[in-house]
Amino acid sequence: MSTLFLDVPIRGMRCAGCVKTIEEECAKVPGVVEATVNFAAERARLAVHPRDFRAPVLVRSLRDHGYRPATARVAFRIDGMDCPSCVQPLEEALRAVPGVVDASVNFGAGRGEVEYLPGSADPESLAAAIRKAGFAAKPESQAAAQTDDEMRSLRIRLAAAIPAAVAVMFLSMQHMIFGRHLVPHRAAEWIQLAIALPVVYGCGAAFHLGMLRGLRRLAADMNTLVSVSTNAAVLYSAWAVLAVRPTYFDTAVSIVAILLLGRALELRARRGTRDAVEKLLHLTPRTAEVVRDGTPAEVAVADVRVGDLLRVRPGETVAADGVVREGTSTASEAMLTGESRGVEKSPGARVIGGTLNGHGALVVEVDRTGKDTVLAQIVRLVEQAQGSKARVQRLADAWARRFVPGVIAVAAATFGVWLALGRPIDGLVSTMAVLLVACPCALGLATPTAVMVATGRAAQLGILVKDAESLEAAAGLTQVMMDKTGTVTEGRLAVRDVVPAAGRTREEVLRLAAAVEKNSEHPIARAIREAAPPDVPEVAEFEARPGLGAVAKLDGRDLVVGNRSLMSYCGIDIKPITHEISHAAAAGRTPVLVAHGESLIGLVTLADRPRPEAAEALARIRALGLRVGMISGDDATTTGSIAGELGFTDAHGEVLPDGKAGLIRQLQGTGERIAMVGDGVNDAPALAQADVGIAVARGTDVAIESADLVLLRDDLRAVPAAIALSRRARAIMNQNFAWAFGYNALLIPLAAGVLRGVGLYVDPMVASGAMALSSITVVLNSLRLRGFGGA
């Protein structure tokens, strides 16, 4: 048996003792002959027998022990999948390639994604495995061209099949239309045969080739049903021409024409499920004006490099991510974040490639290009989500694989029963109808089309959904827990109240406090400066008193700003506002006292302010029937104050990051399904523990590993929108499944002729139209999610 040598990068080794652990774990994996680990290089060299080697076992074992073997991912657009029963054999073919860790094929998306160990597998070998299984594979980047080719081919075949079907129908029904044969009956039958053969075996070649591919892998799919039924019609009719019996050429030709039309309509509708991604892909302009060595030049966007200076005129689209160096303007980020208002841009501000510049000209220094830009990350995450599978879809795929053999068995039984009744022609027609009316495609499209449209619409609303299972989980939530600082609140101090002493005014208190604080960078100082009026007096001899406050000279007297201890040290009497100070402290606010000379001027209280939209967001979440709680590392008094202000009934203060995860776990133990909303960094353990982790992206970081959903804009109203969208998607999936099952349960018995005695039956032409319509109905139903507007 041949031996293959693999180099596997492994992260997470902390000491030389890890080497022995990894070597021992690798040795336990089937197919591994020898394992040698280099601690310095963080790499394992494996000698394996390719036929026996199990990469998933290796990766799972190392991950279970806290190590991170480096894997790669590649996505393909797969052509030739005509029904959901193609999925399982394709996945099995990919998983049989040595080094493949996991493979997921999505029929609705026409996409396959493979995780593999570099060095043991590569995109070329994976594409070869797909081709060997009887399908065509192209890299993700060529997807649009592939879809266009498929649509072009369908149009050509339709252009031939539809006139042919009309001609055959005319020849077969001429005596009914005109009361006589304009073309002699026998001649008309031979002409029908001559037309039917190229239509059925030329225009309909894809169905017959698909059946042959299935036979090679000992599997049956939708192509098998169509091919068997059309072959039966044509071959019987060819015999009937010779035996002078009734023919069914019109049925065979019409079936091919109707199915091709249905497939074209379905493909067009399915392309609509990728609208969101297509729009994102077209955001980046083709060219950009770059200044290099002081000389401006127009270059292709692909040639823009990190460090280049871009000139962005008013109304132009920014070509790459970067930082504004010159100019002021606003930028519309609506297509990326869902934020409809223009975002102010001035020197030092970040701009995102694909956003639209407003009224001013900008010079931007590029710091991210190509696949590293925010837009590229968003597209990658949306495509990954659209290609993923919900849990229910895995069951549907398994059921679909058994569906076609079951239909063939029903068709055989149908023919046998009619034959036993002495009515073989009725048996042939009913058998063809059963084969044609049965539709596994509607079942296979029920979930993926809904997932594709929902995740695309979510991206347009500024919500990134990591995968289908996250979308599915969000629909079943019972409670939402939120981090306080920076999530429910703005994450910075702000002036909440001003209490002037007798004879003083609010403006005077703020003006004098800001006079001292304008020389400080303390968060309290910044908050006071932002709230103060513009006419702040100049002070002298500023002196910071760490832990107490600050003192300066104004008009020859001390101007004191600080806490009670500083006032006591300076001999200032604060008894007139002692009650207000105590009240502020009890409410979790920071009291700052202001005195000039020996006179108390007043009190300024500060606190972290709730986000402007927080109350509205919480109301929308509650309207969805969910409970809302808050977790914070701040003291219980401050946490309780914010909770009371916003109406939280469940608030937990003084909880450390690991404690947040423990609290989530405790709630889950009572049967709650929890969403945790946080920043993705300090709250990472809690986000990972929750049933659905929702992170608010900071700046340009959209690929937050610990989150299931990522909000691209700082707006809590996106949380109820995401939950409402997931519920709507689940409802659409349920409707699709109900339609798919109900359609087959109703029409297969009718096609078999169980009610033919009372005049209720489905003939083959109607059956083929019904099959095409069933898939289109599911896709169109899923496309209704594009109109989702929010919670």
Give me the active site residues, please.
483
Q: Encode 131-162: b = buried (16+ Cβ within 10 Å), e = exposed.
A: eebbbebbebeebeebbeebeeebeebbebbb
Q: Which residue has 């990894």 as its token pair? A: 22
Instruction: Give the residue among 675, 753, 756, 751 at the shortest CA–CA distance from 718.
Output: 675
Closest alpha carbon to 78 in 154, 140, 12, 4: 140
> What's the CA gap between 435 and 694, in Å, rounded?
46
Q: Please, are residues 647 and 618 in contact by the beta-carbon 8 Å criterion?
A: yes
**Beta strands, E only, 501-654:** 540-545, 549-554, 557-562, 590-596, 599-610, 627-631, 650-652
Phi, psi at residue 630, to the nearest 5°? -130, 140
> Angle 87-95/391-420 helices, nearest 10 degrees?
130
Give the span between the Cα atoms of 119 and 462, in whole angstroms: 37
Coarse DSSP helix, strand, coil percentages of the chain, rounded to the nearest 5 percent = 50, 20, 25
- State which H helix or E strand residue 282 sits in: none
Burial of 16 (0-12, 13-18, 19+ CB in 10 A): exposed
Give SS3 for 769. helix
Please enumerate in sequence order all residues whose Cβ is within 8 A of that of 383, keeping only pairs 6 or more positions apart, or say none: 75, 111, 140, 277
Residue owning tokens 């009372």: 758
Phi, then psi, of 13 in degrees rounded to 5: -75, 125
Both structure tokens of 697: 């992206």
Q: Give which of 790, 784, 768 is closest to 736, Cα–Cα.
A: 784
Encode 219-254: b = buried (16+ Cβ within 10 Å), e = exposed: bbbbbbbbbbbbbbbbebbbebeeeeeebbbbbbbb
Q: What angle is formed at CA 441 by the lines to CA 438 and CA 447, rounded to 5 degrees?
A: 135
What's the CA gap between 692 and 477, in Å, rounded? 8
Distance between first and last Cα of the chain: 61
Helix ranges (H only) for 465-575 are: 468-474, 506-517, 523-531, 564-569
- Contact status, residue 317 vs residue 350, Cβ threshold 8 Å: no
Query: Pick from 73, 69, 58: which is nearest to 116 by CA?
Result: 73
